[in-house]
Amino acid sequence: MPDGELLTDRLRLRPWTTSRDDLARLTDIYRREEVTRWLGGTPSVGPVELVCRWAQIRRADPVHGCWAVEVRDGAPPLVAGTVLLKPLPGGVGEVEVGWHLHPDSWGRGYATEAAGAVVEHAFVAGLPEVYAVVRPGNEASLAVCRRLGMTPLGRLRRWYDVELEAFRLMAPVVVE
């Protein structure tokens, strides 16, 4: 498997690129109000800069990243969205798992499958826990947190200066 990629039964998680197809899909995802309403608005930078910033996150720590979620059985493969694993802003080392999917890929379990693969990647790499933050009312993302087995921490205003539903998942304890 190429560096930086993760595979699941149905998905290939790979770094976003500045290819024409990736940039077009990225633009389509992050210009949709039904997506950005849960993110606090559209990204403040264009798609090329976004891809560059995400690559920088991975360069800073190869455990972290922002991956394109590609459905493997498509021809050509469909990029369903983004899954991320990155430090929470203003935190003290907490790492966030998150997902942003295009509406044409909602309701198929891709967010849970992609996030689960990234969480497993984090735990194999030695992270003791991961967090998720969800805007109140985003029932689909709250359901993903529950399916991942995350523990609700209540509403916090700790990381993004807005009240969010926070969740934590601890790495399994390995008994040797």
Torsion of CA 144, 146, 149, 152, to 10 degrees: 120
Predicted TM-score of the model (pTM)? 0.92
- Residue 152 within any structural domain of the chain: no
CATH of the domain at 13: 3.40.630.30
- Residue 59 within any structural domain of the chain: yes
Range of the domain at 24: 6-128
- Residue 96 within any structural domain of the chain: yes
- Residue 64 within any structural domain of the chain: yes
User: Cβ neighbours of residue 53 under 8 Å, at least 6 residues apart?
Assistant: 45
* C-alpha–C-alpha distance, residues 21 and 127, integer Å: 33
Reference 13, options 63, 84, 62; nearest CA is 84
Q: Which of 76-80, 95-99, 150-154 has the lowest mean pLDDT?
A: 76-80
Total number of domains in the chain:
1
- Residue 174 within any structural domain of the chain: no
- Residue 55 within any structural domain of the chain: yes
- Residue 162 within any structural domain of the chain: no
What is the chain's mean pLDDT, rounded? 91
